[in-house]
Amino acid sequence: MLIAAFAMLAVDAPADPLELHAARVTGDDDYREVLEAGVARRQLARTTLIVVLFVCSGLMVVVAFVAMTPKSADRGVAKAPGHSDDADDDAGPSSQT
């Protein structure tokens, strides 16, 4: 996602269509306003997509690091299979007086 966001930044923003230039030259204000609104929508959609890609990429990094963080029970030393933490259980009944 991060690569796609940087690729979108590297590509130029949507250019004005030729119809918009023609409407400006001929003085057709209504048509010019409609075309300018379309250009503004495309620019907003592009900006929104870039921001969403960066935010989602950052969120994925945060989630990945949270997922890798060891839990409190896993922070201790690894124990051999069958090993018990209770010293009394290993000593057996003969150690009790």
Task: Give the pLDDT of residue 79.
Answer: 59
pLDDT tens digit sequence for 40-61:
999 999 999 999 999 999 999 9
**Domain map (residue ranges) of the chain:** 15-69
Contacts of 52 (CB under 8 A, 6+ apart): none
Between 13 and 49, the higher pLDDT residue:
49
Confidence of residue 86 (pLDDT cuts 50, 70, 90): low
